[in-house]
Amino acid sequence: MATYLEFIQQNEERDGVRFSWNVWPSSRLEATRMVVPLACLLTPLKERPDLPPVQYEPVLCSRPTCKAVLNPLCQVDYRAKLWACNFCFQRNQFPPAYTGISEVNQPAELMPQFSTIEYVVQRGPQTPLIFLYVVDTCLEEDDLQALKESLQMSLSLLPPDALVGLITFGRMVQVHELSCEGISKSYVFRGTKDLTAKQIQDMLGLTKSAMPMQQPRPAQAQEHSFISSRFLQPIHKIDMTLTDLLGELQRDPWPVTQGKRPLRSTGVALSIAVGLLEGTFPNTGARIMLFTGGPPTQGPGMVVGDELKVPIRSWHDIEKDNARFMKKATKHYEILANRTAANGHCIDIYACALDQTGLLEMKCCTNLTGGHMVMGDSFNTSLFKQTFQRIFSKDFNGDFRMAFGATLEVKTSRELKIAGVIGPCVSLNVKGPCVSENELGVAGTSQWKICGLDPTTTLGIYFEVVNQHNAPIPQGGRGAIQFVTQYQHSSTQRRIRVTTIARNWADAQSQLRHIEAAFDQEAAAVLMARLGVFRAESEEGPDVLRWLDRQLIRLCQKFGQYNKEDPSSFRLSDSFSLYPQFMFHLRRSPFLQVFNNSPDESSYYRHHFARQDLTQSLIMIQPILYSYSFQGPPEPVLLDSSSILADRILLMDTFFQIVIYLGETIAQWRKAGYQDMPEYENFKHLLQAPLDDAQEILQARFPMPRYINTEHGGSQARFLLSKVNPSQTHNNLFAWGQVMK
Amino acid sequence: MNVNQSAPPVPPFGQPQPVYPGYHQSSYGGQPGPTAPHIPYGAYNGPVPGYQQTPPQGVSRAPPSSGPPPASTAQAACGQAAYAQLGQGDVQNGPSSTVQMQRLPGSQPFGSPLAPVVSQPAVLQPYGPPPTSAQVTAQLAGMQISGAAAPAPPPSGLGYGPPTSLASASGSFPNSGLYGSYPQGQAPPLSQTQGHPGVQPPQRSALPLASSFTPPSSGGPRMPSMTGPLLPGQGFGGPPVSQPNHVSSPPPQALPPGTQMTGAPGPPPPMHSPQQPGYQLQQNGSFGPARGPQPNYGSPYPGAPAFGSQPGPPQPLPPKRLDPDAIPSPQLNELPPQQKTRHRIDPDAIPSPIQVIEDDRNNRGSEPFVTGVRGQVPPLVTTNFLVKDQGNASPRYIRCTSYNIPCTSDMAKQAQVPLAAVIKPLARLPPEEASPYVVDHGESGPLRCNRCKAYMCPFMQFVEGGRRFQCCFCSCVNDVPPQYFQHLDHTGKRVDAYDRPELSLGSYEFLATVDYCKNNKFPSPPAFIFMIDVSYNAIRTGLVRLLCEELKSLLDFLPREGGAEESAVRVGFVTYNKVLHFYNVKSSLAQPQMMVVSDVADVFVPLLDGFLVNVNESRAVITSLLDQIPEMFADTRETETVFAPVIQAGMEALKAAECAGKLFLFHTSLPIAEAPGKLKNRDDRKLINTDKEKTLFQPQTGAYQTLAKECVAQGCCVDLFLFPNQYVDVATLSVVPQLTGGSVYKYACFQAENDQERFLSDLRRDVQKVVGFDAVMRVRTSTGIRAVDFFGAFYMSNTTDVELAGLDGDKTVTVEFKHDDRLNEESGALLQCALLYTSCAGQRRLRIHNLALNCCTQLADLYRNCETDTLINYMAKFAYRGVLNSPVKTVRDSLITQCAQILACYRKNCASPSSAGQLILPECMKLLPVYLNCVLKSDVLQPGAEVTTDDRAYVRQLVTSMDVAETNVFFYPRLLPLTKSPIESTTEPPAVRASEERLSSGDIYLLENGLNLFLWVGASVQQGVVQSLFSVASFSQITSGLSVLPVLDNPLSKKVRGLIDSLRAQRSRYMKLIVVKQEDKLEMLFKHFLVEDKSLSGGASYVDFLCHMHKEIRQLLS
């Protein structure tokens, strides 16, 4: 076991891949009987400080339908300077540059430790990164002020050659021209009218080509660059202008009468932002960052009317089909998201409001483009400020932790086919021999586009074993999968990261033990959870739960050992032991339970669940609970009501929240001020320990979790109480009481 | 005109002349004295108060006129001069001698004119009286005969000729007199035929023949037109025509066709000399005819003498005047020697606007016009007078076509005199007159009749001891609210009548209560939005830079109310080409912010706060903006513009700000950019004179009407400044300004360096003038008549309420009334015009104007109390509207028909019996033909080749909201000789008639029509004068087309420049000066404004038209 755990861990560290099964059942039939599909979690850009990129182009298989990248698994004939593709078995000549290779002089891509390798290629013009701020001005004064400060601050974090643009919106949408001096100039659009990309470009004067026809080419070219640069300028040029502009930003000047919501044209603003980039910088890395303080209330994409007396839709309304605007708005944002994705841009949404802001409708904007979604109560909170700041954090090389316009291509050896992907991506609709007809997630293709990603972005990739039962794979046979990720690095370089992995095949009938032992229950839980959440987007909640339950039962049936009619005899091997627990908490999680969550919150949670890596995902499924006491060092405890004890301090991390909970006694002690007495310094330390640990988590996590410090009986203790397994409920507590009487 | 006249006239005259002399003389001798003329004159005089005075005036005039008499001497002078004089002379003569002449049929007409002339000396007075006759009998006949008529004038002219100088004087007099005489003179023409035929003796007998002849003659030449007269005129045909006519008869006599011809066409002058003898004869002849008529005239004229006293008799007399022919004879008598040479109608013998204006000025300019009496005819608009409001609205606010209206619709129909009022509710008053008092009735608001909702006014009758009042409009008896109660004195008047403006004045204002406000909310102060075209054209011409520079200072002069320290008006700025740029100029900003709206298909206002600002608060930002606008667009290459979206945007901005206001649009080109209201170039000169011509005046698309409607609903007035290089479709672009009570200014081929003064001056005036916003005007009348039609710049959504998004002191609304019941002679007819508006400080007010008119059962009373200027104002507006729906020719014809009907009705019902050959015009309307002719040949109704479609649409649009004074000078320009009067004289030089004949090449003249200003320099002007005016050595060195006179320190230069300045000050638009040299190509342009002459575009000369009119009248009568 240990070996498998190590193997898994090693693989994850090296390749950023976790498979649900690390030994693959060799036939289709057996594979389906395994219940948990053969799948993996791939973190394409996993940070690899130890992996310097190579500065040349990858060598590709010459078969047009294959084009797999030369990798350590390939058979190489050093004499003949030939190599055989391990996916299609095509024999390929090495390119001229490789004439010097030999067993002792191997290029990096042939070395086994470089199962993951990154190439830097010189392709196409290098355009600087583009950041387009789309800012809601219908905010409270202090909120707007805080937002302005954050934005101004962000300017200093951007690379100096990055292009920035600014669009503000309220009742109208203003696209600010940044190039002019003196008078600040902006193009204004009415917030109620949907415009096509062409119209937007016309109105912004981006399609001037008609007039200067007669003019010599150079002039035209110049003109073009001039025009497109009016709205997007290098930060080093207009740093001051933009800072001033942001400083002068007024609240939306249109009066809002009593009982009304401000008119907010989010839909049009986004549409214009998309249109603007589409017309000027298609297929280059760009981030549209939407900052909004409330729901869109007019125009296309409106989520709720401006009458305050009509509340924004709830799950209840949606179930009752009573959400008037939802379908239309969703459609609007979906179209936008698809256009954005097609252009290789991504959309971030930073929504800070006490009420919902329409994330349910807008979620596809982030989900399809790989953008961030951040939800907070106010722009004037550290949650937003630090989260926003963290977007611009840098890695060990001093590069931004963001990449753009990535294409992920998956190649499989012929026993496998690709069923689909779940994650922040869109299909590129590339059919191929390795595409399965069985669809899971975003399917029907072997290539996906991920417009925005960071080192933790993780995709769930599902496969199907297609090898027939009657065509056994020879002993020792291995299946291989290659992931090719082409992307624009934040340094604007074009890079290609290639990960090639191989796993052993095993006959499920004869070698079930092997397969069982190679089960990665954590990965499996997350992959199943992704499937469940993906289904939940389109299906009724109960159906999904029933499906999950059935899957769990079938798994236990398959791998559990038990005697019929004897529940206590049930046993699962170690490699499965935690899995049911994960499923239990998953059922209770906000990803599948919408009760007590607004539609926006559900969307928010699901958004993050679909892109975080395995560790974070597990935390989301089953929050971690640590217990601090005088009895010893902090220890993880069961997420169970029985863990709540009077003399403990609990630290719960649900990914979205960090809760520190002081037990009843501890709280009383603190109230009594023991921590301030020198003789009780240990108590002070005890109080401090979870705070320090919490800080550590807060430092690292994106987005910033909500930080809650509460105690027994505190109103916010509900965050903890709602998560724990209610093994002790009011009922049995009450029963106890009776007993005690 | 002369030409025409002369030609035709000559021959006839020639012929007649010989005869005439005898006749004339004889006739004159006899007739004058004896004839009724006196009576007629008297009658005429009678009608016109002024006229009555005439006698005295006449006297005064007489002198001048008498001067003319010398005419006889003058006659010797020039034909032309003669004409003028004759005209006058005629008139004058008419009175005195006229009578004599009149009889002579053929000659009569002329004669009559002559006669007047003759009488002139005395005449003037007579004329005065003539007025009665003036109404006159201008014996058109003679005129028409054109030949004859024309001749007639000449003769008289001759006679007068000498008088010419006098003529001028007399001329002026003539007006009154002239008219009288004119008619005669003209009549003569008509009679001419007669006269001719008759050639004198026979003539009379012949007269009929003549008349018959005339037709033929005219007919001959142009039967159809018959207008015979016209024809003659036109044809000058006259010559032939007249000839024929005259010829027929006269030819033999007149003989020398050649002479005739010459005479006719012949510039009068030449004619004279050669023909003189003939002329004289002719004159006689013509006069003869006239003279012939003169006898008739004589009678009338005789009346003339009577004039002074005659007032009473006038009418009857007038008919007699027809005889003017006779009059001529007298002249003939006198003239014969000198005048005989001429055959044409003497232009001087026909009614002269100049004379009328001068007379009125002299008679009525000195005393204030007190409005207390019902139905008083106010002085002419050309007269400077003070008004004392004693219960009726000042004529500055309301002028009527008639101050005595028929009691029944039958009468009205018979007379065909339009009943209309020209109302200028917010007219500016001279500083000596107080603006209307503001009455505040507190919460209860103004007191109104419960039934018809008329406002309390001096005509309301308080009854039952003051507890109730009876509405003077609908007779409903209403309770007087307790707080308004007041006791009555013994006359039944309220004791406090003189403490309350609404009980004692004709014009006053009420403060409106909230009930009178939109949405039941007091309005906020209005806003001005400047919307500037910044396309390539606007930048290139320097417009944008100039405008921005000017605005900086102009913003300090926004209209303010009363003594307010700063204007309440807020301002906003928009620039545009294919897209719109709004500017945020909020005072808290360091720099203005520009907001571009490129969604022109569905334009909207991008900002609220900071768009409309107080000038003083945001001055720094505004200044910065105005500095930067020219820079920002300095390199623009955008040539396309939009238009409708601009207005839409302005309107939306006002709507968003919930206020009324005004948009100032500065626009350069046809809006061809893709947007609502996009236009295409549809200018097609081929359509002129076709049935489709009307489409040139109609808007291309209905979009602008819809837009205008929205603007009106919002109280958004649009002022449009156009700077076109080519066709911009004024007809369409001006729809919105027109319907929202705005103004259109057009500066073709604008260049900042040349046109800036004109533009800036207009702009300043336009921005500074006081405007009322979001106004509704309603005219209430006594039961019996009803306001049925409205003309002007406004919009009407129903049939009674005139809605004006904006209304300034220059805008005029002409209202036509029709009978729907009988009126009561005793109680008269009352008009109450109520205007509800928002002042420029944002105060809601009601301005009330009341006017009481007399009612009559006798047509004569109607004709005695008409005002021709107002009539022309109405008729021009009516016709100009007509071109939208009917072919121009139809419109012209209907104008002529109506005019003929009016005059024929007079002739038939009011004038004293006289020969059919005589043209008799009512004194009050003796200028109707000349003015009407000016309307007929205006650019809109008869465009010349050089007049663009845009110009026509522009003028059409301008005239629609002109007041009486503006239409007056617009249609009959003022021509002022600059070098005739001594330099020292400080008064304006007396005007001369707008005819080339009046120009002497040794003088310099100034011509203005309210839009244009020309300085005409004769070819033989003294070098000294040239030097002192232009600072160049000789005539040839003067730059033609010069628009500025050099500032020189000498009396002449100062005087001329001073005069130009004062003329400009009188007009609501700046007139750009154009210096025109005699014989220069620019002179064509100038000649276009010499409206008494035949125009290049085919417009008839005055004389010809008079002939034509006479013929029409005669046809109607027969």
What's the pLDDT score for residue B332?
Answer: 33
Q: What is the average per-residue pLDDT within A28-52?
A: 91
Cα angle A541, A547, A551 (rounded to 5 degrees) comes to 145
Instruction: Quote the CA–CA distance of B838 and A555 in Å, as a whole number.
Output: 84
pLDDT band at A733 (very low <50, low <70, confident <90, very high): low
> Hey, what are B177's tokens?
């007199």
Q: Which of B581, B596, B610 sits opposite A253 (nearest CB)?
A: B610
Is the CB of A182 less than 8 angstroms away from the CB of B628?
A: yes
Say yes or no to pLDDT of B342 above 80: no
Nearest CA in chain A to B604: A190
> Could you give the count of Cα atoms lying within 13 Å of B347 in the half-sphere of its Cβ?
37
pLDDT band at B693 (very low <50, low <70, confident <90, very high): confident
Say yes or no to pLDDT of A287 above 50: yes
Q: What is the average per-residue pLDDT within B245-268?
A: 36
Say yes or no to pLDDT of B46 above 50: no
Say yes or no to pLDDT of A279 above 80: yes
Helix, strand, coil shares of chain A, percent, nearest 5, are: 40, 25, 40
Say yes or no to pLDDT of B854 above 70: yes
> Hey, what are B172's tokens?
């002026």
- Spatial CA neighbour of B400 closest among B383, B377, B429, B372: B377
- A492 Ramachandran zone, left/alpha/beta (phi>0; psi -120 to 50): left
The burial of B885, by beta-carbon neighbours within 10 Å (0-12 exposed, 13-18 middle, 19 or more buried), is given as: exposed
CB B97 within 8 A of CB B296: no
User: What is the three-class DSSP state of A415?
Assistant: coil
> Hey, what are B663's tokens?
């948009």
The percentage of chain B sitting over the pLDDT mark of 70, rounded to a whole number, equals 69
Instruction: Quote the CA–CA distance of A374 and A383 in Å, as a whole number.
Output: 9
Is the CB of B598 less than 8 angstroms away from the CB of A186?
A: no
Query: Which residue shows structure tokens 């571009």?
Result: B596
pTM value? Answer: 0.77
Instruction: Quote the CA–CA distance of B937 and B849 in Å, as a whole number.
Output: 35
Q: What is the average per-residue pLDDT within B52-63?
A: 36
Q: What is the pLDDT of residues A329-380, one digit of tens each?
A: 999 999 999 999 999 999 999 999 999 999 999 999 999 999 999 999 999 9
What's the pLDDT score for residue B397?
Answer: 95
CB A177 within 8 A of CB A192: no
Cα radius of gyration rounded to whole Å, chain A: 28
The burial of B553, by beta-carbon neighbours within 10 Å (0-12 exposed, 13-18 middle, 19 or more buried), is given as: exposed
CB A72 within 8 A of CB A500: yes
Instruction: Tell me which chain A residues have a C-beta less than 8 angstroms from the C-beta of B596.
Output: 177, 185-188
Cα angle A505, A510, A512 (rounded to 5 degrees) comes to 70
Query: Which has more pLDDT, B290 or A159?
Result: A159
Cα angle B287, B293, B296 (rounded to 5 degrees) comes to 135
Interface list for chain B against chain A, based on CB atoms closer than 8 Å: 579, 581-583, 589-599, 602, 604, 606-610, 624-625, 628, 631-632, 637
Q: What is the average per-residue pLDDT within B1006-1030?
A: 91
Instruction: Quote the CA–CA distance of A264 and A80 in Å, as a whole number.
Output: 68
> Hey, what are B562's tokens?
């009363």
> Hey, what are B268's tokens?
């009068």
Neighbouring residues of A32: CB distance < 8 A, sequence distance ≥ 6? none
Q: How far are the Cα atoms of A245, B228, B485, B504, B848 from residue B508, in angstroms, in the given order? A: 53, 52, 20, 10, 6
Instruction: Tell me which chain A residues have a C-beta less than 8 angstroms from the C-beta of B631.
Output: 182
Mean pLDDT in chain A?
Answer: 88
pLDDT band at A238 (very low <50, low <70, confident <90, very high): confident
Lowest model confidence (mean pLDDT) among A297-301, B70-74, B487-491: B70-74
Query: Which residue shows structure tokens 């990858």?
Result: A58
> Hey, what are A418's tokens?
């690709």
Lowest model confidence (mean pLDDT) among A56-60, A203-207, B524-528, B660-664: A203-207
What's the pLDDT score for residue B591?
Answer: 86
Say yes or no to pLDDT of B187 above 70: no
Query: Which residue shows structure tokens 């509405």?
Result: B471
Instruction: Quote the CA–CA distance of A189 and B189 in Å, as a whole number.
Output: 73
DSSP state for residue B467 in the 8-state scheme: T
Query: Which residue shows structure tokens 């995709």?
Result: A459
pLDDT band at A217 (very low <50, low <70, confident <90, very high): very low
Neighbouring residues of B893: CB distance < 8 A, sequence distance ≥ 6? none
What's the pLDDT score for residue B32?
Answer: 38
CB B720 within 8 A of CB B735: no
The burial of B864, by beta-carbon neighbours within 10 Å (0-12 exposed, 13-18 middle, 19 or more buried), is given as: buried
Q: How far are the Cα atoms of A213, B348, B603, B649, B714 from residue B659, in angstroms, in the given order? A: 45, 57, 19, 14, 8
Query: Which has more pLDDT, B571 or B1095?
Result: B571
Nearest CA in chain A to B592: A183
pLDDT band at B173 (very low <50, low <70, confident <90, very high): very low
Is the CB of B599 less than 8 angstroms away from the CB of A186?
A: no
Q: Please give, rounded to a whole number of angstroms, the shortest distance from the CA of B609 to a CA of chain A.
A: 6
Mutate to test the interface with A, among B535, B577, B595 (most CBs of A within 10 A): B595
Query: Which residue shows structure tokens 């010499």?
Result: B1090
Q: Are strands B813-819 and B419-423 parallel, antiparallel or unpaired?
A: antiparallel
- Spatial CA neighbour of B323 closest among B71, B97, B16: B97
Domains of chain A in sequence order? 4-57+112-122+399-510 (2.60.40.1670), 130-205+228-391 (3.40.50.410), 533-617 (1.20.120.730), 623-723 (3.40.20.10)
Cis peptide before B645 (omega within 30 of 0): no
Is the CB of A203 less than 8 angstroms away from the CB of B598?
A: yes
Edge-first strand order for the sheet with B461-463 is B461-463, B468-470, B477-479
pLDDT band at A229 (very low <50, low <70, confident <90, very high): low
Say yes or no to pLDDT of B972 above 70: yes
Say yes or no to pLDDT of A223 above 70: no
Q: Does A219 touch chain B (CB under 8 A)?
A: no
Instruction: Quote the CA–CA distance of B195 and B210 in Å, as a whole number.
Output: 6
- Spatial CA neighbour of A375 closest among A666, A218, A599, A583: A599
Q: To the nearest 10°, the Cα dihedral for A240, A241, A246, A250? A: 140
Say yes or no to pLDDT of B7 above 50: no
Q: What is the average per-residue pLDDT within B458-469?
A: 91
Length of chain A: 741
Query: Which residue shows structure tokens 């005087």?
Result: B1055
pLDDT band at A730 (very low <50, low <70, confident <90, very high): low
Instruction: Quote the CA–CA distance of B578 and A203 in Å, as a whole number.
Output: 10
Instruction: Quote the CA–CA distance of B875 and B400 in Å, as a whole number.
Output: 13
Q: What is the pLDDT of residues B1061-1107, one digit of tens each?
A: 999 998 989 999 999 999 888 888 898 899 999 888 888 899 899 99
Is the CB of B591 less than 8 angstroms away from the CB of A184?
A: yes
Q: Please give, rounded to a whole number of angstroms, the shortest distance from the CA of A257 to a CA of chain B.
A: 14
| Distance, first Cα to last Cα, chain B | 27
Say yes or no to pLDDT of B297 above 60: no
pLDDT band at A218 (very low <50, low <70, confident <90, very high): very low
> Hey, what are B857's tokens?
């059962």
Query: Which residue shows structure tokens 């901005």?
Result: B653
CB B1038 within 8 A of CB B975: no
Query: Which has more pLDDT, B304 or A720?
Result: A720
Neighbouring residues of A705: CB distance < 8 A, sequence distance ≥ 6? A653, A654, A655, A656, A657, A658, A697, A698
Q: How far are the Cα atoms of A410, B410, B873 from residue B629, in angstroms, in the given order? A: 58, 63, 43
Q: What is the pLDDT of residues A599-632, one digit of tens each?
A: 999 999 999 999 999 999 999 999 999 999 988 8
Q: Does A206 touch chain B (CB under 8 A)?
A: no
CB B303 within 8 A of CB B43: yes
Q: What is the pLDDT of residues B736-767, one digit of tens each?
A: 999 999 999 999 989 888 888 999 999 999 99
The percentage of chain A sitting over the pLDDT mark of 90, rounded to a whole number, equals 57
Nearest CA in chain B to A185: B594
Nearest CA in chain B to A252: B607
> Hey, what are B743's tokens?
């103004």
Mean pLDDT in chain B?
Answer: 74
pLDDT band at B966 (very low <50, low <70, confident <90, very high): very high
Instruction: Quote the CA–CA distance of B281 and B276 in Å, as a whole number.
Output: 8
Q: Output the DSSP codes for B146-185.
A: GGTTTTSHHHHHHHHHHHHHHHHHHHHHHHHHHHHHHHHH
What's the pLDDT score for residue A619?
Answer: 94
The percentage of chain B sitting over the pLDDT mark of 90, rounded to a whole number, equals 42
User: What is the three-class DSSP state of A68?
Assistant: coil
Q: What is the average per-residue pLDDT within A26-47?
A: 92
- Spatial CA neighbour of B16 closest among B330, B268, B340: B340
CB B349 within 8 A of CB B166: no
Say yes or no to pLDDT of A527 above 80: yes
What's the pLDDT score for residue A628?
Answer: 93
Is the CB of B607 less than 8 angstroms away from the CB of A182?
A: no
Q: How far are the Cα atoms of A57, B636, B638, B673, B703 from residue B577, in angstroms, in the given order? A: 52, 10, 7, 9, 19
- Spatial CA neighbour of B258 closest among B488, B43, B6, B84: B6
